[in-house]
Amino acid sequence: MTKRVLLLIALLLLPLAGWCAGGHYPVDDADIVAPSDFQIESWYSHFDGRNAEFGFLPAVTVRDRLELTAGYYRLEAGGGNLDRFELAAKWQFAPIEDGAIASALAVTVGHEDGEWSDWLVNLPVSYAMAHAPVVFHLNAGWIHERDDSSDHLFTGAAVEWSATEQFDLIGQLYREGSDEDAEAQIGIRTGIGDVVEHLDVAVGRNLSSDADWFVTAGLTLAF
């Protein structure tokens, strides 16, 4: 199957519930799409027993270090549906290399309910261990909500462990604002090939007393 056929299938499947991706991990890394690739991340999340989220994130890198992303999200909840669009730019200061600290700066703006509703500035820092297949990620970001002019601090930490050549284990812990509950995710990622870059399956939960669970399946294509 050619790359063009896979890309067409990906675009046709966008409205379906099976659409899913690696973009469901809130804690970002300092990596960017390879300059020669066009990447599509997509995912489907089911949570609270009745709500669902679909995501679609095409991304491309220009000028070797600047990654541009245009995202579409659809949240289907009992109280109604919400469509959200995002534009993002990510500048990589240093790439991820064994035994070195990598970093980047990402800016994201969101559009929903007919207006540009919020923006996020995030600093992801990654460290790949020199003698072990483990990579750590830390995030520190600032979120501004236009509707009520509120600001929130986003913090997160993650670890990726390459258990085998085919399987990675990913764990994340993150929090938005001091008044919000922390959330955690753990997932398995498997590499497939040059075009189907990887598949993800993850489970997560809100760490408050009610402990809401959510499940996510993801797909990443690279052309």
Cβ neighbours for 151, distance < 8 A, ≥ 6 positions apart: 142, 143, 144, 145
pLDDT at 166 over 60: yes
Q: CB count, 10 Å around CB of 159?
A: 15
| 15 CB burial (10 A radius; 0-12, 13-18, 19+) | exposed
Query: Residue type for 187, please?
Result: G
- 179: its two tokens: 């008044």
Fold for 3-222, please state it.
Porin (2.40.160)
Q: How confident is the model at residue 193, as a pLDDT?
A: 82
Please tell me the distance from the alpha carbon of residue 217 to that of residue 88, in angstroms, as a whole number: 23
179-198 confidence digits (pLDDT tens): 778 999 999 999 888 889 99
Beta strands in 63-211 (DSSP E): 66-77, 80-94, 101-112, 115-128, 134-145, 150-162, 167-176, 183-191, 196-206
Cβ neighbours for 186, distance < 8 A, ≥ 6 positions apart: 169, 170, 171, 172, 202, 203, 204
66-105 confidence digits (pLDDT tens): 999 999 999 988 778 899 999 999 999 999 999 999 999 9
- 113/94: higher pLDDT: 94
Coil, helix or strand at residue 12: helix
pLDDT at 14 over 80: no
Question: What percentage of the chain carries pLDDT values higher than 90?
Answer: 73
Q: CB count, 10 Å around CB of 40?
A: 21
Q: CB count, 10 Å around CB of 195?
A: 16
Query: Residue type for 77, please?
Result: A
Domain positions in the chain are: 3-222
Coil, helix or strand at residue 122: strand
